[in-house]
Amino acid sequence: MEISTYFLILCACVVNFVTASVNVADVPCGRSQVRQAKIKNGTDAFPHEYPWLVSISTAGPNSPHFCGGSLIHKRYVVTAAHCVHHKRPMDVKVLAGAHNIFVPNSESEQSISVSSIVIHPDYSKKYINDIAILELSTDAKWTKFVRPVCLADMELDKAKDSLDGMSVTAAGWGNTDEKQYGGKPASILQKVDVLVVPTATCESWYNIDGVRFYDSHLCAGYENGGKDTCQGDSGGPLMMNDDGGRTVIVGVVSTGIGCGRPKTPGIYTRVSRYITWIQAQMAASTQ
């Protein structure tokens, strides 16, 4: 079966902790100014619960959402490389501050064009190094609806199993299930809690499908399936809290097989592996 990209549906949130986070923005990161709260079997997020989450679509009026992303700075969005591979900056736009992407909200939303797309130089269509940075044409304006998220600290990358068994949260506007089961794109932002699965376990579950895992991958889901990512959620964040209560993205939605199938958890790009690369691209663009 061909590997397809999918996104999540929702959860009841459990707070977990990483020891530290990285802020590359000019304001405090990972702080929502609203109360905390479909991905498959998910629930609606509270309006603007995740103010860093953006919808990525083709430039032009009434263009549909095709991927998610995370604001890490007023000028930069982190997303998946496969979302924007072979796309020109002029053909992509970002919608920040959205909740129901089918109902425009001039009070909260900011539609921003993209000036450049930086794909990781070692990106492979096998979803290796599946990460990219979008540089926005104009700065996002920080409001209670639009805020930056923190990045996972590089220390997480030194202990590959440090997240194993932890509960993490994904959110997005992807399909609520596979299309063959009636799944449709979500209008209201959805969220879901899943567990980080040890790489060896994930490899054994996926073995029949011949999927290979790398150190840059993070696996999250359930042995029995049910909650997972779905098409259209790619590029969005996999999140948890640091020890200061700030929201940190530990993964970027990358790939998977189907949507919520048993023994096929979602596969994510491990963000801690790319902190130095992200900071270098940001620094290079300002020179």
Q: 43: pLDDT confidence band, cut at 50, 70 and 90?
A: low
Measuring CA to CA, how many Å separate 195 from each of 8, 56, 169? 12, 26, 9
> Quick one: pLDDT at residue 215?
87
Contacts of 259 (CB under 8 A, 6+ apart): 6, 40, 175, 177, 178, 183, 228, 229, 230, 231
pLDDT > 90 in the chain, percent: 54
Prediction pTM value: 0.87
Query: Helix (H, G, I), strand (E, B), or coil: what is residue 104?
Result: coil
Other CB atoms within a 10 A radius of the CB of residue 187 amount to 15
- Per the CB < 8 A criterion, the answer to whether 229 and 174 are in contact is yes
Q: What pLDDT is attached to residue 133?
A: 98
Kindly tell me if the per-residue pLDDT of 4 is higher than 80.
no
Helix (H, G, I), strand (E, B) or coil at 200: helix
Confidence of residue 40 (pLDDT cuts 50, 70, 90): very low
Active site residues: 82, 130, 234
Length of the chain: 287
Per-residue pLDDT at 212: 81
Asked if residue 39 has pLDDT above 70, the reply is no
Contact 135, 160 (CB under 8 A): no
Its sign, for the CA torsion 92, 147, 161, 221, is negative
What confidence tens digit (pLDDT) does each residue in 215-255 have?
A: 899 999 998 888 877 888 899 999 998 888 899 999 999 99
What pLDDT is attached to residue 121? Answer: 96
Arithmetic mean of pLDDT, 260-273 = 92
Per-residue pLDDT band for 158 (boundaries 50, 70, 90) equals: low
- DSSP 3-state assignment of 268? strand
* Closest alpha carbon to 283 in 131, 146, 118, 114: 118
DSSP assignment of 19-83: S-EE--SSS--S--SS-----TT-EEPPTTSSTTEEEEEESSTTPPEEEEEEEEETTEEEE-HHH
Higher-confidence residue of 42 and 242: namely 242
- Spatial CA neighbour of 286 closest among 139, 153, 160: 139
Q: What is the pLDDT of residue 30?
A: 79
Query: Is the pLDDT assigned to residue 9 strictly greater than 70?
Result: no
DSSP designation for 100: B
**Section 143-147 average pLDDT:** 96
Token digits of residue 28:
């405090």
Task: Provide the pLDDT confidence category of residue 265 given band limits of 50, 70 and 90.
Answer: very high
Does residue 34 or residue 137 have the better pLDDT? 137
Give the tens place of pLDDT for each residue, 177-218: 777 776 777 889 999 999 999 999 999 998 766 678 888 999
Strands 190-197 and 132-136: unpaired
- The 8-class DSSP code of residue 129 comes to S
Cα separation, 4 vs 179, whole angstroms: 12
Tokens describing residue 89: 């900056």
Amino acid 60: pLDDT: 83
Q: What is the average per-residue pLDDT within 115-126?
A: 94
Write out pLDDT tens, residues 48-101: 899 999 999 998 888 899 999 999 999 999 999 999 999 999 999 999 999 999
Which residues 6+ apart lie within 8 Å of 115 measured at CB? 89, 135, 136, 137
In angstroms, rounded to a whole number, what is the distance separating the alpha carbons of residues 234 and 66?
8
According to DSSP, the residues that pair with 119 across neighbouring strands are 132
Please report how many Cα atoms fall inside a 13 Å half-sphere around the Cα of residue 193, on the Cβ side: 12
Lowest mean pLDDT among 32-36, 147-151, 181-185, 186-190: 32-36
Average pLDDT of the residues in 117-144 = 95
Compute and round to an integer the Cα radius of gyration of the chain: 17
pLDDT(17) > 60:
no
